[in-house]
Amino acid sequence: MFKKLQQLQVIIAYKNSENLGDIAILKSDLFGAKVSPTVASKLQSVAGYYPVIDLKQLSQYPKGSFGREYANHMQANQLKPLSISPELEDIAKRNLFALRYLVTHDIFHVLLDFDTTYAGEIGVLAFATAQNYSKSLQIGLWLAKLLYPILAPRQIKGIFANLAKGRELGKKADFLLGYRFEEHWEEPIEDVRKRLRLA
Is there a contact between 119 and 155 (Cβ–Cβ < 8 Å)?
A: yes
Distance CA 174, CA 190 (A): 15
Please give the residue that has the higher pLDDT: either 98 or 199.
Answer: 199
Q: What percent of the chain has pLDDT over 70?
A: 78
- The domain locations on the chain are 32-195
Is there a contact between 123 and 173 (Cβ–Cβ < 8 Å)?
A: no
DSSP classification of residue 196: T
The pLDDT value given to residue 36: 80
For the chain, give the mean pLDDT: 85
Distance CA 84, CA 99 (A): 9
Report which listed range, 42-51, 52-61, 132-141, is most confident: 52-61
Q: Lowest mean pLDDT: which of 29-38, 110-119, 167-176?
A: 29-38
Closest CA to 117 of 72, 162, 80, 59: 162
Distance CA 99, CA 83 (A): 9
Closest CA to 123 of 160, 93, 89, 84: 160
Q: What is the pLDDT of residues 149-165, one digit of tens each?
A: 999 999 999 999 999 99
Residue count of the chain: 199
Q: Sign of torsion, CA 35 36 41 42? A: negative
Q: Sign of torsion, CA 192 171 178 76? A: positive
